[in-house]
Structure 1
Amino acid sequence: MVMQRMPFKYLILIFGVLFASCEKGLQDINVNPNESEVINPEFLLSSVLINTAYDYQKEAYFDEPASAGRYITMVRNEGNDKFDWGPQSWDSYYSKLSSNREMMDLAKKLNVPQYVSVGKILEAFNFAYVTDLFGDIPYSEALLLKNQTLAHPKYDPQQTIYPALLQTLKEANNELATITDKVDATADVMYKGEPLNWRKFANSLRLRMLLRISKNYPTAFTEMQEILNDKSKYPIFESNADNAEIIYQGAVAANSWPGSPQGSSFDEFDKRKPSKEIVDALLQRNDPRLKVWIARVDSLKEWTTDPNPYVGVPNAIPAPYDYNGGKFHISRLSSLFSSTKGDMLKASMLTYAEVCFILAECVQAGKVTVPGKTAESLYYDGIHANMKFYGVDQAAIDAGYFNQASVKYNGTLEQLIGQKWIAGFLKGAEAWFDNRRTGLPKFVLGPMSSTTVLPKRYIYPTGERDTNEEQYQKALTVFGADKQTTLMWYLK
């Protein structure tokens, strides 16, 4: 059952009001003239934005998307690698959506429409992620518990959800182009209140979503072209400065990079090794990002399989902790990923590099045109942008990286998606989603995999069968079996 959850601070406020009613004689002396008695939308915006970015990033490193995207191999608790996933909870996603809707409703009452428009972008991002993971989901009735006491929301088909979200993003862009007031800069920890940046995020997110559904959405490329034809009306990401990402403060566990001892524990960090597939891809290309992301093995002696100083672990193999002779002969992630914060550690939702690869794919396929750009130039723009983020762009140029046969643009989708996959290292679920859509990169499942194909989706939460059984069963008659291998609408 999808329910709205009341934020903890609201509970505090309610209990405070109840206490005050009992202590009527103390009301006058307990009023603080400097403290607002109304929860302002900027506080909710900050919370929703941070939680959205941090949770999305954590899943890209700690959870199923990291294994499905072949970035991480678990050497203990290997269920993710074996695709033995089982039902997945969506409570955290709907909790953020509920708080975001609360912020939007409050903003409407207070007549601060800029918060509604930004809220629309966050709502589209979060709903898109949930339907990308599960397929058909509660959408139109999902957040009506509070206002309409609707506790058993229906599941909407993905083919109606996606167009609605695309329209929501378009509306947000158009609204932010005309609204003169900005959201509070201190509340907006991503863009400091600048509406142009939020518009770029909205339109770049539309590009991602349109490509994702393009197989079964006839106007996908027409809508993409509309965006690309008018950058003043539909601005998109133009550099890394536009990236939709948030820094980690590193002060406490809640605002630290999830792989750091403060953000989790060294035990959690050490059970996650770089996958053999990403390490080998970097080695084969003499890629300078290798040394930024991957640590050298502790010993070059007594290895059993791989003599390289950088050794990734294959996914879904027996006893992965013993691979190549054990822990001294396999790589950890670099010390960057055991830090609490850093310029190269950000909670990332969408990057300029990804947008370059999206456009390169569409131009290469002859579906759209980008003024002043070719598929080749966009392909190189994507690689350069990612390398600049990690401070190795000039080193790559000096080493002749782009002159290698494996890197030099050849017009194939396999090469393009391969570079997009590398650039997306630990930056979201896009590697998994791209593989579902294109079959690329050609990942190796591993001998211990519980399935013969990469999972196509998450299984619905167990709670839905317990508390929303009728709507759950109705959904399956339309969607299909509740299995990891069932294809959602845009993959059919």
Structure 2
Amino acid sequence: MKSIVSKGYLLIPFFLGLGACSNYLDVNVTPNNPTSVTPAVLLPGAQAGTAFANANELNRFTSVLTQQLAGAANSPATYDVYQTNGADFGNQWNGEIYNGALINYQKLIELGDANNAKAYSGIAKILKAYTFSIATDVWGDVPYSQALQGEAFTAPRLDKQEDIYKGNTTLGIQSLFDLVREGIKDLDATSSVVPGADDVIFKGDLNKWKQAGNTILLKFAMTISRKEPALATAVINEVLTGNNYIKTNAGDMNFTFGASVGSQDPRYTYVYVSTFLNDLILSTRYLNLLTSLNDPRLPIFFTKPGANYVTIDNGFRGTLPTPTANWSRYNKYVVGNAGEGPVRFITNFQRAFALAEAALRLGTPGDPQALYTEGITASMTLAGLTPAQITAYLTANPTVATLTGTTEQKIAQIITQKYIAFTGNGLELWNNYRRTGYPALQLAQNAGGIDGTLPVRAVYINDELQRNPNFPNPAPQSNVKVWWDID
């Protein structure tokens, strides 16, 4: 499986472009002399790879599955009726994750450690953990501890998702939690050089990186909280005790793209520029949800070119609405004025909702109601609403503003608001839906796939099934839950 263990390190330029639905990513560059590549050159391309992994095809897949978007044509239309196979995400596995972001983070770690540039090592370890979490959350068991090791492992084993999250000393597997902790520790060390503008996310602000790393620990803890409540509780308490995590919107971990053609957010390119721009449309179901809640973010999240929002139901197979120019699509909040984005990886509202859920489910410190209100307020503020507008909305909509009912009903409220706040980040929507079952989603029209059920994992890509004998045969299909999914 040389596609993820090659000796050369792939550099994804900042100006990544989107050309075709499945074969756009053809601009990787393998340096002739990798040892001459500097951390400042590698970092922005690696970050762009993670942003593409989050916002490109996997976002289309998961945003359709979780019914914020509906598929009108091509791949999104097949995802909408739960059809997915090993031919779907080869570019994401190879170009964006393993041979893109991850191999560059590995090189950054090696360069940082060799040159006492620990600031780069720390950032790379945090982002490496985040990017590996994308891979394991999407596919389950994946190459991890033996990946990115050059010729040492030409056919790396698949580590169990449980071991990736928890670690396994016997097998030499470092947990994602410890990888992030190690990265944060590196940021405290003396560094011969620190990033500046080459760090697209935080411009070299190492304290913001520490806060982001600790908030990633909260995200990982909540991901496994149904399966491993004791471990999740311990991690959350550790972060709360350290008291250095994202607490304001200014600390959000975002990647911002350029506004010129070829450097834009893939969500913008796909729905506004590419030949596939009429593949996606706002889901009628999501419109109905936000309308029922009187949610003021609706026109901020999605366009309304005419008198009404123009949508279709998930799985719809009738005549599409015309003209297509009036379709409701991602608005500037998601894609930017001209494709800048940002891609929101880790956010203040996410932290608040996670701690609200943890306080209810795990008994960790914090007032669930106060944290829930903080999450809504942070999201609405990010969307551009004023404090007065937010207060007026919460006052006029007490069924939204106040947690009521059983613990489970309160958690359903929290996750529903988290679902709305994360509009544009389908991976987070899908992760939260799989682990909690919220918000409750009805099957799409014309549901197919495996037994007509909504996919709970992606199918391994065909190339890896053919190249690496360590992949299971037969491979798990889309109806087989990943380890942490017990809902």
TM-score over 0.5 for the pair? yes
1:193 to 204, 226, 229: 204
Q: Against the structure 1 CA distance between its residues 106 and 394, is the aligned structure 2 distance closer, same or farther, given a 3 Å change threshold?
A: same
Q: Against the structure 1 CA distance between its residues 293 and 267, is the aligned structure 2 distance closer, same or farther, given a 3 Å change threshold?
A: farther
- Equivalent residue pairs, number: 443
2:222 to 211, 220, 228: 211
1:229 aligns with 2:241: yes
Counterpart of 2:170 in structure 1 is: none
Counterpart of 2:328 in structure 1 is: 331
Counterpart of 2:377 in structure 1 is: 384
2:342 to 343, 346, 350: 346
Separation (CA, whole Å) in 2 of partners of 1:183 and 1:71: 40
Amino acid at match of 1:405: P
Counterpart of 2:283 in structure 1 is: 275
Q: Against the structure 1 CA distance between its residues 258 and 328, is the aligned structure 2 distance closer, same or farther, given a 3 Å change threshold?
A: closer
Counterpart of 2:25 in structure 1 is: none
2:147 to 142, 148, 168: 142
Separation (CA, whole Å) in 2 of partners of 1:176 and 1:143: 23
Q: Secondary structure of the equivalent of 1:489?
A: coil
Counterpart of 1:152 in structure 2 is: 155
Counterpart of 2:21 in structure 1 is: none
Q: Secondary structure of the equivalent of 1:184?
A: coil
Give CA deviations for 1:121-148 in whole Å, capped at 9, x if unaligned.
01101111100000011111111224x2
1:240 to 222, 235, 249: 249
1:413 to 407, 411, 414: 411
Q: By how many angstroms is 1:417 displaced? A: 0.9
Q: After superposition, where does 1:415-430 map in structure 2 within 5 Å?
A: 415-430=413-428
Separation (CA, whole Å) in 2 of partners of 1:71 and 1:175: 39
Counterpart of 1:84 in structure 2 is: 83
1:483 to 462, 477, 480: 477
Separation (CA, whole Å) in 1 of partners of 2:184 and 2:30: 34
5+ long unaligned stretches in structure 1: 18-36, 300-308
Separation (CA, whole Å) in 2 of partners of 1:298 and 1:429: 30
Sequence identity percentage? 24
Q: By how many angstroms is 1:484 displaced? A: 0.5
Query: Which deviates more from structure 2 when the two are superposed, residues 153-162 or residues 105-114?
Result: 105-114
Q: Secondary structure of the equivalent of 2:294?
A: coil
1:290 to 289, 293, 298: 298
1:94 aligns with 2:98: yes
Counterpart of 1:363 in structure 2 is: 359
Q: Against the structure 1 CA distance between its residues 169 and 450, is the aligned structure 2 distance closer, same or farther, given a 3 Å change threshold?
A: same
Q: Secondary structure of the equivalent of 1:490?
A: coil
Separation (CA, whole Å) in 2 of partners of 1:46 and 1:318: 41
Q: By how many angstroms is 1:414 displaced? A: 1.5
4+ residue stretches of structure 1 with deviation over 4 A?
8-12, 261-264, 325-330, 335-340
Amino acid at match of 1:103: L
Give CA deviations for 1:362-406 in whole Å, capped at 9, x if unaligned.
112252003xxx111111111111111111244633643443133
Separation (CA, whole Å) in 2 of partners of 1:465 and 1:13: 29
Asked if the contact 1:278/1:422 (under 8 Å) is kept, the reply is: no
Counterpart of 2:55 in structure 1 is: 57
Q: Against the structure 1 CA distance between its residues 397 and 431, is the aligned structure 2 distance closer, same or farther, given a 3 Å change threshold?
A: same
Q: Secondary structure of the equivalent of 2:276?
A: helix
Counterpart of 1:302 in structure 2 is: none
Separation (CA, whole Å) in 2 of partners of 1:128 and 1:380: 28
Separation (CA, whole Å) in 2 of partners of 1:118 and 1:329: 42
Counterpart of 2:312 in structure 1 is: 313
Q: Against the structure 1 CA distance between its residues 297 and 112, is the aligned structure 2 distance closer, same or farther, given a 3 Å change threshold?
A: closer
Amino acid at match of 1:314: D
Separation (CA, whole Å) in 1 of partners of 2:436 and 2:338: 34
Q: After superposition, where does 1:382-461 map in structure 2 within 5 Å?
A: 382-394=375-387, 396-397=389-390, 399-411=392-404, 412-451=410-449, 452-461=452-461
Separation (CA, whole Å) in 2 of partners of 1:432 and 1:378: 22
Separation (CA, whole Å) in 2 of partners of 1:357 and 1:320: 39
Separation (CA, whole Å) in 1 of partners of 2:115 and 2:460: 37
5+ long unaligned stretches in structure 2: 12-27, 167-174, 405-409
Query: Which deviates more from structure 2 when the two are superposed, residues 118-127 or residues 86-95?
Result: 86-95
Q: After superposition, where does 1:106-185 map in structure 2 within 5 Å?
A: 106-146=111-151, 148=152, 150-163=153-166, 164-179=175-190, 183-185=194-196
Separation (CA, whole Å) in 1 of partners of 2:426 and 2:248: 19
Counterpart of 1:23 in structure 2 is: none
RMSD value, Cα: 2.6
1:73 aligns with 2:70: yes
Separation (CA, whole Å) in 2 of partners of 1:261 and 1:473: 36
Separation (CA, whole Å) in 2 of partners of 1:262 and 1:91: 20
Asked if the contact 2:115/2:192 (under 8 Å) is kept, the reply is: no
Q: By how many angstroms is 1:51 displaced? A: 2.1
Q: Secondary structure of the equivalent of 2:254?
A: strand
Amino acid at match of 1:274: L
Amino acid at match of 1:3: V
Q: Secondary structure of the equivalent of 2:311?
A: coil
Give CA deviations for 1:450-478 in whole Å, capped at 9, x if unaligned.
1433211011111122111x21137x6xx
Give CA deviations for 1:46-93 in whole Å, capped at 9, x if unaligned.
2111221233122464x2111122211111121121111111321121
Q: By how many angstroms is 1:176 displaced? A: 1.6
Amino acid at match of 1:285: L
Amino acid at match of 1:359: L
